[in-house]
């Protein structure tokens, strides 16, 4: 299931604006990679380019290669819909589908792809909710709307929804930024669990979170306003937080920037 | 030691808080008076209209015949008969209009919100819809008269009325659907794309269901609006005191047309039919509005 990801010379644009410059990075399978860096440095943009969500924005453009087990997801023959089916994503704010029950939310990806077998859908729903550590909390109200859950539960519901389609890679865009510390802890535990089966890339503003959950950390920075964001360095999380190779990284991590 | 501690009402410094000044009280009174005045000006005619219609029309519609019979074979001064023919006409003309307008309107709105973006075609479509919104019903009716009757040589009929109503209903459906689709958060679209669901399926299965209650409410209100239109029925359909089920041929009554017709009838029977038709129209429209509320309540996304 879990695949490796290689980013090669990635340049991202919004119209004429060069948002991110020359990113090259390797993510080994069954590994958590954290993207850290100040706001506006392009880490979310890079993340969104990894499942071709970047191009959803009007005028957005991509140059370079993103290889999933050696296969370029930006090759002209590749259908972006297929890419997104293979690479799941969890967003900053929990966004369950408001018209659907908890169960339907989890299996939305399969059902809308045409899977009709009710028994199979129920199995997937249970397995995914268990995988997202939510099963025990919702098993008695699977037919209730997903919007009635708490923020933390909704976010775990969204994670369940993302893993229900069994992606090869899971992208998380600040998944805990709208959550309280207890829910955050629940999600972090979950990420550690998911690592056994999935390759995960997570964007976070919380440095402790990066230190707690990730195996390797990539630090992005912005040289100035209007300049493209850059990947400053990427290394084992332990090394980045104890002995970073670049001064900019050290300044950012220790709270001295600029 | 300060004396303030002993007697808290005696302050060493002037107080921070003062009572409301006279000028502010006057302005407040003036504004309150204006708001109440505006409220009364708006409500009095409304209550008056409702009272008049109810008082004159209510006794007429209590008769069971009113809902089941037409005026076929009755003389103008003869009491009795009913408005079934006109109720049928109003409902069927409105329904045919809705069947044509709703898909067109919804598809235009989907194009504008989901696909058009800031393209020239989208901008000009919005502009056209705005113009169409402002077209008076008599102009719509005369346009259909020109195209359907003068050029195409087809006769006046209920269907021609429906076509004119379509011109009036489409822009309303486009507008309300557009607004409803716009308030569906982009996060839901992104969540759907991220699951590998194609764009068209995202629109059909995620975006529209989320906005459905608002869209249907808008449709119901638009329908209620066009069913009361008088110009199209006057221009495009002749009045018939009997029931005509044929949409494409022959005169067909409708409630506004029946009212126009009975207004020229100076007898007591005419007076009763006029007000009976009026209250029936008001009731049907109220019913549609209520239906809109019920639909929006039952279909709105729930959290419990």
Dihedral sign computed on CA atoms, order B175, B176, B179, B184: negative
A56·B191 Cβ contact <8 A: no
pLDDT class for A56, splitting at 50, 70, 90?
confident
Q: Which of A211, A201, A233 is nearest to A31 (CA)?
A: A201
pLDDT class for A1, splitting at 50, 70, 90?
low
pLDDT score for B5 = 55
Of the ranges A194-198, A252-256, B112-116, which one carries the lowest mean pLDDT score? A252-256
**Once rounded to an integer, what is the mean pLDDT over residues A217-233?**
88
Phi, psi angles (nearest 5°) of residue B176: -65, -40
Dihedral sign computed on CA atoms, order A61, A64, A67, A71: positive
HSE-up of B143 (CA within 13 Å, CB side)?
14
On the question of pLDDT at B134 being above 80, the answer is: yes
The whole-angstrom separation of Cα B44 and Cα A150 is 48
Q: Does B201 touch chain A (CB under 8 A)?
A: yes
Q: Does A99 touch chain B (CB under 8 A)?
A: yes
A interface mutation test: which of B191, B198, B201, B205 has the most A CBs within 10 A? B191
Distance from CA of B106 to the nearest CA of A (A): 19
pLDDT digits (tens, 9 = 90+) for B35-86: 999 999 999 999 999 999 999 999 888 888 889 888 888 888 888 888 999 9
Q: Which residue has the tokens 């005191």?
A: B241
Which residues of chain A have a CB within 8 Å of the CB of B190?
53, 56, 89, 91, 95
**C-alpha dihedral over B181, B184, B188, B193, to 10 degrees?**
20
B210·A91 Cβ contact <8 A: no
- Please give the share of chain B, as a percent, with pLDDT higher than 90: 66
On the question of pLDDT at B154 being above 80, the answer is: yes
Of A58, A109, A147, the CB nearest to B195: A109
pLDDT digits (tens, 9 = 90+) for B177-230: 999 999 999 999 999 999 999 999 999 999 999 999 899 989 998 998 899 899
Distance from CA of A100 to the nearest CA of B (A): 8
pLDDT digits (tens, 9 = 90+) for A108-166: 999 988 888 999 999 999 999 988 889 999 999 999 998 889 988 999 999 999 999 98
Average pLDDT, chain B: 90
HEC per residue, chain A: CCCCEEEEEEEEEECCEEEEEEEEEEECCCCEEEEECCCCCCHHHHHHHCCCCHHHCCCEEEEEEEEECCEECCCCCCCHHHHHHHEEEECCCCCCCCCCEHHHHHCHHHHHCCCCCHHHHHHHHHHHHHHCCCHHHHCCCCCCEHHHCCHHHHHHHHHHHHHHCCCCEEEEECCCCCCCHHHHHHHHHHHHHHCCCCEEEEECCCHHHHHHHCCEEEEEEECCCCCCEEEEEEEEHHHHHHCCCCHHHHHHHCCCCC
- Please give the share of chain A, as a percent, with pLDDT higher than 90: 56
Of B187, B196, B304, the CB nearest to A81: B196
The whole-angstrom separation of Cα A11 and Cα A14 is 11
CA–chain centroid gap for B3, Å, is 70
DSSP secondary structure code for residue B4 in this structure: G
The complex scores an ipTM of 0.89
Domains in chain A, CATH or no CATH each: 5-254 (3.40.50.300)
Which residues of chain B have a CB within 8 Å of the CB of A148?
302-304
On the question of pLDDT at A234 being above 80, the answer is: yes
Average pLDDT, chain A: 90
Look up the CATH architecture of domain B84-298. Answer: Orthogonal Bundle (1.10)
Q: Does A115 touch chain B (CB under 8 A)?
A: no
- Domains of chain B: which residue ranges? 84-298
B interface mutation test: which of A99, A148, A172, A173 has the most B CBs within 10 A? A99
The encoded tokens of residue B65 equal: 């015949």
Distance from CA of B176 to the nearest CA of A (A): 20
* Interface subset of A 51-90, CB within 8 angstroms of B: 51, 53, 56, 58, 81-86, 88-89
On the question of pLDDT at B249 being above 90, the answer is: no
pLDDT score for B177 = 95
pLDDT score for B117 = 82
pLDDT score for A258 = 45
Nearest-CA residue of chain A relative to B192?
Answer: A109
């Amino acid at each position: 299931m879990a695949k490796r990801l290689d980013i090669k010379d990635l340049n991202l644009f919004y119209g004429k604006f060069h948002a991110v410059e020359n990113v090259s990075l390797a993510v080994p399978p069954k590994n958590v990679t954290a993207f850290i860096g100040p706001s506006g440095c392009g880490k979310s943009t890079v993340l969104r380019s990894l499942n071709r969500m970047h191009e959803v924005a009007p005028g957005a453009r991509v140059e370079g290669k993103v290889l999933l087990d050696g296969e370029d997801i930006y090759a002209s023959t590749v259908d972006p819909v297929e890419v997104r089916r293979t690479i799941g994503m969890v967003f900053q704010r929990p966004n369950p589908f408001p018209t659907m029950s908890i169960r339907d939310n989890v299996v939305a990806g399969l059902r809308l792809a045409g899977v009709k077998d009710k028994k199979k859908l129920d199995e997937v729903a249970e397995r995914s909710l268990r995988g997202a550590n939510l099963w025990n909390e919702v098993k008695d109200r699977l037919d209730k709307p997903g919007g009635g859950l708490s923020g933390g539960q909704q976010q775990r519901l969204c994670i369940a929804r993302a893993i229900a389609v069994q992606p090869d890679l899971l992208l998380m865009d600040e998944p805990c930024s709208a959550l309280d510390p207890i829910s955050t802890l629940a999600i972090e535990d979950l990420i550690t669990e998911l690592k056994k089966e999935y390759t995960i890339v997570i964007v976070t503003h919380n440095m402790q979170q990066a230190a707690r959950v990730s195996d390797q950390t990539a630090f992005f920075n912005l040289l100035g306003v209007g300049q493209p964001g850059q990947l400053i360095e990427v290394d084992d999380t332990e090394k980045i937080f104890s002995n970073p190779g670049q001064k900019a990284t050290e300044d950012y991590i220790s709270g001295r920037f600029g | 030691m300060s004396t303030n501690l002993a007697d808290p009402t005696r302050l060493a410094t002037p107080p921070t808080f003062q009572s409301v000044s006279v000028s502010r009280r006057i302005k407040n009174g003036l504004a309150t008076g204006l708001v109440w005045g505006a409220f009364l000006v708006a409500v009095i005619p409304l209550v008056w209209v409702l009272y008049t219609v109810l008082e004159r029309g209510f006794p007429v519609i209590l008769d069971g015949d009113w809902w089941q019979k037409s005026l076929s074979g009755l003389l103008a001064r003869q009491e009795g008969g009913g408005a079934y023919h006109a109720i049928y006409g109003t409902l069927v003309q409105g329904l045919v209009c809705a069947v044509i307008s709703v898909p067109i309107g919804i598809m235009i709105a989907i194009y504008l919100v989901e696909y058009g973006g800031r393209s020239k075609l989208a901008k000009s479509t919005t502009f056209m819809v705005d113009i169409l919104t402002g077209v008076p019903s008599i102009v719509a009716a005369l346009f259909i008269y020109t195209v359907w009757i003068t050029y195409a040589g087809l006769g006046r009929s209920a269907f021609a009325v429906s076509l004119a109503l379509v011109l009036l209903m489409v822009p309303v459906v486009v507008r309300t659907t557009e607004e409803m689709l716009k308030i569906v958060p982009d996060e839901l679209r992104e969540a759907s794309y991220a699951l590998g669901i194609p764009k068209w399926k995202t629109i059909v299965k995620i975006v529209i269901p989320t906005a459905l209650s608002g869209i249907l409410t808008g449709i119901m209100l638009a329908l209620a609006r066009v069913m009361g239109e008088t110009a199209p029925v006057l221009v495009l359909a002749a009045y018939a005191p009997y029931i005509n089920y044929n949409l494409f041929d022959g005169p067909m009554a409708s409630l506004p047309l029946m009212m126009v017709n009975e207004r020229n009838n100076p007898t007591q029977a005419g007076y009763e039919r006029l007000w009976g038709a009026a209250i029936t129209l008001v009731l049907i429209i109220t019913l549609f509005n209520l239906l809109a509320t019920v639909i929006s309540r039952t279909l709105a996304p729930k959290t419990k």
